[in-house]
Each structure stands twice: as structure tokens, then as C-alpha cells.
Chains A and B, each alone.
Chain A
Amino acid sequence: MKHLLLYIDTLSEGYIILVTGLTVVFSGLLLLTLVFKYGLPLMLYVYKIISKGPDKKVKEISPKVNEEFTGEIAAAISVAIHMYLDVKHDKENAILTIKQARKLYSPWSSKIYGAYKNRL
């Protein structure tokens, strides 16, 4: 009986963890979403005002980012740059390697054993 009670108790605690856990995960990531959706542009806007304030009027600074310039364009440009840098070498390797054609001495291919064969 006690064991059964313990079992039910564990399960109810499990449900509590299930509900709180899911709520916390969701609310946590929702908070992140909201911060990055609204907080980050605001921070950048404030930063723009602080850094460019003296030169420009606040009205002229737009909080909007350039909508035309999408991530796909950025990706295409970065691929192009990557490929270009991959092909280009501004420093050539100064060490030239020429494959050694002459074999090092080995008794397996030595002529001397062939030459003395008749004498042995």
C-alpha cells in the first residue's frame, strides 16, 4: 500500500515537473523571442542615436533595417568571397617538393649479390 502511495506520489510530482518544465521552457524562449524581436532593434536604435547623435537629428535616424538586403544576398556574397579567397594565394609555398626518383639502397634490389652469385 505504501509502495503504491509512493508510486502515485512520484507520478503526481512527475506531472508537476511536466507542466512547470514546459511552461518555463516556453516562457524562457518566448522571452528570448520578444527581446530579440523588439528589444534588440531598440538597443541598436539607441546606440545609433548615441553614436551618431551629434551629427544627425534623431528624426533622420531610421530604426528600420534595409529590407531589400536579405540574408540570401548576404549568403551569396559570402560564398563568392569564400570561393575567391580559396582560389587566391597571396603567399605561395616556398618549399618545392620534387619526388625522389632514385631509390635508396636496399639489399633486396642490390646488384652486388647478382654479380657475386657465381662465386658463392
Chain B
Amino acid sequence: MKKVILIFGVLSLLIFARPVLGLTSNSATATVSTTIVDSESAAEKSFISETIHGIQQFYQYTGFANAESGNLIMILVGIIFIYLGIKFDYEPLLLIPIGTGVIIGNIPFVAGNQTGIYEAGSVLNYLYFGVVKGIYPPLIFLGIGAMTDFSSLIANPKLMLLGAAAQIGVFATFLGALYLGFNLPEAGAIGIIGGADGPTAIFLSSKLANGVNILADGTTVKNLIGPIAIAAYSYMALVPVIQPPLMKLLTSKRERLIRMKPPRAVSQKEKMIFPVVALLLTTFISPSALPLLGMLFFGNLLKESGRTERLADTARTKLIDIVTILLGVTVGASTQADIFITKDSMMIFALGAVSFVIATCGGLLFAKFMNLFLKGDEKLNPLIGAAGVSAVPDSARVVHAEGLKADSQNYLLMHAMAPNVAGVIGSAIAAGIILSFLS
């Protein structure tokens, strides 16, 4: 065996060395000799300049030569994202992949070498495919379904309405975007930022504002997936900053002290029936949201059926982790400065902030409105209305923390989880409605 390799090696060496040893055909040697004669005269002078030229050419390909101020700004933004994630623990599982993605996407490069995320055929472009075609969001929803415990919602179904109330943010932003001059599909995609649900926002924008669809008047919609996703995720991470002042503004001290009666225990049978019935009802109402709601309740059934623990375990750990990594990095990388830094992106960011505010206020005020009809220990602590903006489970945690600030013995987490998960269902339904109207 060794001999065979040795012989093969020697043969291949000979083949490669043939031009050097001058064993090629006559015509080839003739041209080589002439070029050698030509170049020899200039060799001494040009050697150094050639080298410098080579270095210069190499320099042209480096990031230093191609850097523009936009790239540097975005790299700074990426570093800030990473810093916020590490230092303040604001959704680090999202901000660190996205922040790194922002840096990766904004390294300056020479176009045309299949490097960038928007160049067809590049590796990043293939990974971005899952975002553009809306593949990652349903997979994330599968994992969320397998993580979520709907029992507090089953115990107190009326809290479902708080999840609906917060969707007012979606439609108000939609209208605001129309006033700012976006066309209908773009405005729909921007509105869903108010749903405070990253996967839903990506899903809807990949269907409506993907830069491919052509409108009735012949113009192509803009590609807004990047700005919308970044706005949705960054405001979700900032929920602990945005929500508390609004809560204090809209609720009185007395209301914040309301203790809700503990939810009743929910039987396993109810938990098993919930995903099936909810799947049927919600998808019959809004079939366009089928990829999201179908996967959400499928994941939940895997968790609650009691027979598919292995599948549920994979869905809520490994699978969702893998998809989150890919989604985070590619969404981050899609903020390539020349495409991302536009007036539209700035407007989307402004609208996103407004939509979070409106959604939170909608939830809080609707909880107060419901209190008008409820008596005694049925009364709701209006703080839990703020959890109606999905952002699972961060907004529920914020509600819990605010409740504890008012009364250190009042644990609202379980109650807040109900509008929180209802918000996920609500924003998915809203996305389905917008999609069925506008696509």
C-alpha cells in the first residue's frame, strides 16, 4: 500500500514539476523564453514596485480601505448591543447573537466575491434564506409552545382579553405608518412591531415587506425585514425600561396593591384539550397565521400530552437554541449599513417605540376597564394588563417586579403569564388578519 502511494506521489510531483523542468512542448517554451527576455530587462526596477503594487491591491481588499462611516456606526451599534446584553442582562440570548451579527454584517468588503449577506450564493445569504422565506419563526414558535404553560390562562380565561387589548398597538402603528407615507403592505409589516413578538414580526415582514412583492401600481415593496426585526427585538429587550414608567403613570397606588385570588389548579385533561381546541378555533378564525399558531399549539401538545416528552424536550432546548442562533446572527447581519441606514429605518424605529407604548397603555387601560365589571376578589390588578404585549416572559417579569415594589408580598407572576401568552396568540392572529388583507 505504501509503495502505491509513493509511486502515485512521485508521478504527481513529476506532473506538477514538468513546466518548471522545461519538459513542455516547444511552442510553450518559445513563449516562456520570450517573456523571460522581456521581463528580465525590467526585472530589477519593477520587482519592488510590483511588490508595492501587490500590497496596494491587497489593501484595496481589506476592510480599512472599504470602510464607510455607516459601517463604523453600525459596528458601534453591534458592540452596544453586546454590551447591553452582558452588562444589564437585557435578553442576552437575543442581543448577543444579534449584536455579533451586526458586526459581521458591517465588516466592509469588496462586492462581488459572494461575501455579503445580500449577495446571492454567499454562505450568509443561504442562512438568511430562513429569515426571508419565514422558515425560522414557526420553528421558534414550536419551541415556545413546548416551553409555555397555559394553565394560568385556562384557570382564568377572561385574561385572554388583555392579550387582545394590547394588539391595539399593532393597528395603531399600522395607521401611523400609513400616515408617514408607507404603502399598505409595508405599514402592515411595521405595525406588527407592536405585537412585541420577534418571530411574528419577522414572519409577517418576510411575507409583506420582502423587497420582492409587486404592488398593484407596479412598484416593488421595500425590503424592511432587517429594520423591523431589529426594532422588534431591541424594544423587546428594552421592555424593562419602557414599561415601568407607563405602569406608574396609568395606575394608582391603590390599584397596584390589589391582590388577585390564586388561580385554581388545572387538570392535565384540560391542559391537553387546550392546544387542540385553541388550534382549531384560532386557525379557523385566521388561517393565514397557520404556520405560527399551528406550530405553537403543536409544541404545546407535545409538552402536555405526557407521551412525547422527548420531542418536547428537543423542541424547547436544542431546536429553539439552534434556530435562535441562526436567526439572531442573520438578522443582525442583515443590517448592512448601505441598506440599513435609511430614513425608513429611522421612522420604523420611532414607530416601534410608539407602538410599544400604545400596546402597554392598551393593556393597562383595558384591565382597568374590566375592573369596572368585576367585583370583590375577582378584581384584576391592572398591572397585569401590561403583560398583554407578548414579549414572553420578560413583560410578565416586569409586571411581577413592579407588583413587588408596591407590595412585597404580592406575587403577580402567575397571573401575568396569562395575558402574556394570550398576547402571543393575539399577535399571531393579528398577523394573520393583516396578511389575509394585504398579501
Contact = CB atoms under 8 A, between A and B. Distances in A.
A14 B184 contact: yes
Interface stretch (B135-143, B275-283, B342-350): B275-283
A31 B286 CA distance: 13
Contacts of A58: none
Given A10-B178, A17-B184, A25-B430, 6 more contacts: A13-B184, A28-B282, A30-B160, A40-B277, A44-B270, A71-B264
B269 A44 contact: yes
Of the four ranges (under 10, 10 to 19, 20 to 34, 35 or more), the interface on chain A belongs to: 35 or more
Contacts of A34: 157
B167 A40 contact: no
Interface of A: 6, 10-11, 13-15, 17-18, 20-22, 24-37, 39-40, 43-44, 47, 65-67, 69-75
A69 B273 contact: no
A73 B265 contact: yes
A7 B208 CA distance: 19
Contacts of A15: 175
Nearest to A29: B164
B158 to A, nearest CB: 6
Interface residues of B, number: 53
A84 to B, nearest CB: 19
- A interface: dominant SS: helix
A34 B281 CA distance: 12
Nearest to B188: A17
B433 A69 contact: no
Contact of B429 (A28, A37, A74): A28
A17 B434 contact: yes
B171 A22 contact: yes
B326 interface: no
B293 to A, nearest CB: 11
Q: Which of A10, A29, A72 has the most CB atoms of chain B within a 10 A radius of its CB? A: A29
A71 B155 contact: yes
Nearest to B154: A36
Interface string B172-183: 101100110001
A100 to B, nearest CB: 32
A74 B266 CA distance: 9
Nearest to A73: B265
Contacts of B261: 70
A10 B181 CA distance: 10
Contact of B265 (A20, A36, A39, A74): A74
B282 A40 contact: no
Given A11-B178, A44-B269, A73-B265, A17 B171 contact: yes
Interface in B158-172: 158, 160-161, 163-165, 167-168, 170-172
